[in-house]
Amino acid sequence: MKKICLLGATGSIGQNTIDIVSQFPEQFAIAALSSHSSIEQLFQLARKVRPQAAAFSGDAVAEHWLQEFRELGVRLLIGPDALVQLVAEVEYDVLVNAVVGAAGLRPTLAAIRSGRTIALANKETLVCAGELVMALAEKHGVSVIPIDSEHSALWQCLVGESRDTVRRLILTASGGPFLDLPKSELAGVTVEQALKHPNWSMGAKITIDSSTLMNKGLEVIEAYWLFGIEPERISVVIHPQSIIHSMVEFIDGSIKAQMGLPDMRVPIQYALTYPDRLPNTLPGMDFVKYGTLTFFEPDFDKFRALKLAFDALESLGTAPAVLNAANEEAVNAFLQRHIRYDRIAHVVEMALNEYEHHEVSDLESVLTADAWARRFVLEARDSLT
């Protein structure tokens, strides 16, 4: 029986994780849950899965909830440090980190320090501090197993292979809802249009990132840290059907692809069962129904965010942390209708150019760069519209 500490339980990956856990009651149990957005939803989930403890890191909690959790027999931790405390104090085997944004970093580091396996959906952890996270994981002998579908695909393609035999990692990208929209029309994109992803149903932030291709850029950086492959050997191909989740090309010219219907429950389950597999009841894929799988070169000029991410990976140091934090704030500003859609990449680029970048020596240097970038975007926001 694997006990799971699930951070970001009320989100899209969180809910899919609970779905998978409930399909395998003999193999998995939820030991702890967290939420930032809704204490009520956290309580409903706690009533359903009966964890030992739950953490709420959002706004102030009304008094009666303390009583409700007490009566349920679930320990409730609250406040900004609740996730780190949860991760360090509860008894579990695997951390599933399904938090959105750089807020996932400190709990990930705390779980690695306590020797727990990490199943990581929270790509921002690796983007902003990949160097620190992977070094700490190595020091503690901890595995960081990806949940992100592209990285799960790469991970599966690499089972049984030596890293020395890899020529290239090929990440696929759906291209998002604006694949065919002329660049000149990006300025007029509305929040509603950007929130409609063609193939995946996900949280708001990653849905916007998928539409700007920043998500693919973050994933390139994530792949670099997870697999230790140089940036020039990581490429992106647009594949609108999202059936091939990513590919590895080997030195003999052979290419392995991992495929399936776009359903995050598959990579979540694999991260929990790795290196084994378990039979499930998810729908299988009908190749004939799809008929054609297509592939295109990404347009780096139109999808500026993807280019910025490749550049940040080239520079490393504080650049990826600034890219990530500026993007989080820019996406937020767009969702709150403070800035235009095409300003997202623009303000991220401004932040990258403005910061005096340096090496990442410790957590403090990452947090300082992150905080600077957030302030920068908030201050630049009103002059941008």
Taking the CA atoms of 328, 358, 317 and 113 in sequence, report the sign of the dihedral they define.
Answer: negative
- What is the rounded CA–CA span in Å between residue 7 and residue 125? 13
Partner from ligand NAD, Mg ion, none contacting 122, C-beta within 5 to 8 A by type? ligand NAD
| Residue 124 in the binding site for ligand NAD (CB under 6 A) | yes
Residue nearest to ligand NAD (CB): 11
- Which of 2, 3, 23, 37 lies at the binding interface for ligand NAD (CB under 6 A)? 37
Strand partners, 165: none
| Residue 122 in the binding site for ligand NAD (CB under 6 A) | yes
Interface with ligand NAD by CB under 6 A: which range of 33-41, 234-242, 284-292, 330-338? 33-41
| Phi and psi, residue 3, nearest 5° | -95, 135
Interface with ligand NAD by CB under 6 A: which range of 2-10, 162-170, 298-306, 320-328? 2-10
- What is the rounded CA–CA span in Å between residue 151 and residue 149? 6
Number of residues that bind ligand NAD (CB under 6 A): 28
Number of residues that bind Mg ion (CB under 5 A): 3
Contact of 114 with 94, CB cutoff 8 Å: no
As to burial, measured by CB atoms within 10 angstroms (0-12 exposed, 13-18 middle, 19+ buried), residue 306 is: buried
Residues 6+ apart with CB under 8 A from 248: 154, 157, 158, 161, 166, 168, 169, 170, 255, 256
CB of 262 to ligand NAD, least distance (A): 9
| Residue 209 in the binding site for Mg ion (CB under 5 A) | no
- What is the rounded CA–CA span in Å between residue 224 and residue 234? 8
- What is the rounded CA–CA span in Å between residue 255 and residue 302? 29
- Which of 33, 69, 148, 305 lies at the binding interface for Mg ion (CB under 5 A)? 148
- Which of 106, 116, 123, 216 lies at the binding interface for ligand NAD (CB under 6 A)? 123
- What is the rounded CA–CA span in Å between residue 214 and residue 184? 18
Partner from Mg ion, ligand NAD, none contacting 214, C-beta within 5 to 8 A by type? none
CB of 31 or CB of 384, closer to ligand NAD: 31
Q: Tokens in use for 174?
A: 């759906």
| Residue 124 in the binding site for Mg ion (CB under 5 A) | no
CB of 371 to ligand NAD, least distance (A): 14
| Residue 121 in the binding site for ligand NAD (CB under 6 A) | yes
Residues that bind ligand NAD (CB under 6 A): 8-14, 35-37, 57, 83, 98-101, 103, 121-124, 148, 200, 202-203, 205-206, 264
